[in-house]
Amino acid sequence: MDLLSPIKDHHRERQLFIARVALLSAGSLLLLAIVIVRLVQLQVLDYEDFAAQSQGNRVRIEPVPPIRGLIFDRNGRVLAENLPAYQLEMIPEQIDDIDDTLHRLAALGLLDALDIPRLTQLAEAGPRFKPVTLNLQLSDEEIANFAIQRPRFPGVDFQPRLVRHYPHGEAVAHAVGYVGAVSSRDLERLEPSRYTGTAQTGKTGVELTVESTLHGFPGYRHVVTNALGRTVLAEASESGDALPADATPAPGNNVILSLDLDLQLLATELMRDRRGSAVAIDPWSGDVLALVSAPSFDPNLFAVGMSGAEFAELQNDPDQPLFNRATRGTYPPGSTIKPMLALAALETGATNLTRKTMCRGYFRLPNTTHRYRDWKPEGHGEVVLHDAIEQSCDVYFYEISTAIGIDRMHDYLEMFGLGRTSGLDIGGESSGLVPSRDWKRRAFRNHADQRWFQGETVIASIGQGYMLATPLQLASAAATLATRGVRHRPRLITATEDVVTGERARDPGEPPATVDIDNDYYWSSILDAMRAVMHGPRGTARAAGSGASYRMAGKSGTAQVFSLAQEEEYDEDEIAERLRDHALFIAFAPFERPSIAVAVIVENGSSGSRTAAPIARAILDQYLGFSKYARK
């Protein structure tokens, strides 16, 4: 403090303080007096009224959860429904020996003995009149079994409720998703007043994405309770007729998906016992016709509720059944990108349709010794672009790769939707990766690693190296080839349907930009080469294309899981199953008027044309109505 500031007058300060304390005390007492007057008003003057209301408070307001909307495929077949189920409950206050009751129920197989400590704790923690759920879903047999034993279990009973059921369980699990018990984390996101009384909420897939559409709005009803707070029937009480009006819940809207259930079931069957994914898209609308990730899991386990051990088993399965490979799995696209690169090369002038290359089975950059090998050790001989696609000649693409350059490769592949999320409406996608100089600068911290090498451009031209794509992206790219550059955002959700009015709503959304290649001759030539892959005399997938009563276009791909040393030979038999190459295939059909595009990836399937192509063919057959599996 400096000397100029006024000297404190302690006496005056204290007097002032006392005056202020007096003032605030008076104010406080006045406020308390208001509270006390209010208390007197409530507890003395209006006592009779409130006492009556408290008596009448045998009437309890109970939320009534809405019925969740159904999910259908494009042909109106049910993918997710609500089924009545019975759960076993006990009311602690009506049971003398809870421990004994639980053990006897466990002996009958009606509950898991391991659950007893948890249930005992639940029974002790909550109010004694509040039911404790012992078993979420009783089978018919269990219901019958319990019905006979019922007199031995006072205070235990079964109660009906609706559970979500997925009739085609595993087949649609990754697309439709599943519901599970509302967790405290869900409640941070959901509106609590809409979820009073709701036990389950969407956790993944469509169930999560359109949760607010599917859920509906709860209503409430007035229920009469007895002196112990248990609900009794409204008719049974004399005040029953005086109950205020209830509010009925507004059911959730139905959701119609683009999936074709038959196609989805077939694709699931074809991918059985494999790891991988198959995605089919209608190229002219972006409708996802099939979205399979294998192996899959039974979503009903989540809807009914499973034990911790069961969940741990799913989570720790090395085949990762919970992982959605179709949208999140990223794989080197391998030779499947060749048609797109060929278009880029034509458009940029890096090659033309008549340029010839002599393929001797390997390629060397000028002034270097490293050999980039073709998949065919003896080479393809003299090839033009058409042959290079038909036979999947790597050397041709190695040669033109440096002329296109990595940055232009990146730009064109991105136009086909690689390297960025496709915008599928259920979200949760990986963006994959299409490298570029710019990307490498950003991705690496070490200056030496930031440089782009020509050799990296070379291997990028056959979809190896840094490049990664999801099955969904490849299917979308195949669809873009089919439409000659017109793109549509892939979508699973085509419409929502108001359950009450039957009104349908669609949201077509903004289509993405068209691929910037205008020369129709280029498109025709490259697509023709893709047709030759299936039907040409030397097409890599001619075996898969044979005997078809329609024409199709395709491209195989084989992606290395690990790299071979320079002189090593790839020997399938000696390589552990999980180190084998991934098999990829993209296709669309019919060639003249494409109505379906597919991408198939079989992890460690060794060869795209031998493993993945027949699967793609079967999917095309089914959709176009030529299937030996076709539904009668």
Which residues carry out catalysis? 335
> Closest CB to another protein among 147 and 227?
227
Q: Give residues in contact with another protein (CB under 8 A).
A: 1, 5-6, 8, 10-11, 13-14, 16-21, 23-25, 28-29, 31-32, 34-36, 38-40, 42-44, 46-47, 49-51, 53-54, 57, 60-61, 63, 124-125, 127, 129, 187-188, 193, 196, 220, 225, 227, 229
Least CB distance from residue 182 to another protein, whole Å?
14
Query: In DSSP terms, which residues pair with 373 in a beta bridge?
Result: 362
Q: What is the DSSP string of 506-575?
A: ----PPPPPPS---HHHHHHHHHHHHHHHHSTT-TTHHHHTT-SS--EEEEEEE-SSPPPTT----GGGS
**Closer to another protein at the Cβ: 217 or 323?**
217
Nearest CB to another protein, comparing residues 43 and 139: 43
φ/ψ of 266, rounded to 5, equals -65, -45
- Closest alpha carbon to 129 in 102, 95, 91, 158: 91
For another protein, the closer CB: 229 or 508 = 229
Q: Strand pairing partners for 381? A: 359
Which residues touch 133 (CB under 8 Å, ≥6 apart)? 87, 88, 89
Instruction: Tell me the CA end-to-end span of the chain in Å, nearest whole number.
Output: 98
To the nearest whole angstrom, how small is the minimum distance from the Cβ of residue 83 to another protein? 28
163, 171, 167, 177: which is closest to 208 by C-alpha?
177
Q: How far apart (Å, rounded) are the C-alpha atoms in residues 360 and 393?
A: 10
Report the nearest approach of another protein to the CB of residue 220 (Å): 5
Cα 169 to Cα 573: distance, rounded to the nearest angstrom: 35
Distances (CA, A) of 599 to 195, 258, 288, 509, 626: 40, 17, 12, 24, 19
CA 170 to chain centre: 13
Q: How far is the CB of 65 from another protein (least distance, A)?
A: 13
Q: How far is the CB of 244 from another protein (least distance, A)?
A: 9
Which C-beta is closer to another protein: that of 129 or that of 362? 129
C-beta of 61 vs 232, nearer to another protein: 61
Taking the C-alpha atoms of residue 549 and residue 297, their distance in angstroms, rounded to an integer, is: 36
Q: In the beta sheet, which residues pair with residue 496?
A: 255, 505
CA–CA–CA angle 591, 592, 593 (5° rounding): 100
CA max distance for the chain: 112
β-sheet bridge partners, residue 64? 219
Q: Which is nearer to another protein, 47 or 629 (CB)?
A: 47
- The Cα 604–Cα 579 span in angstroms is 7
Using CA atoms, how far residue 211 sits from 45, 207, 217, 306, 492, in Å, is: 49, 6, 12, 22, 14
In terms of CB distance, is 12 or 593 closer to another protein? Answer: 12
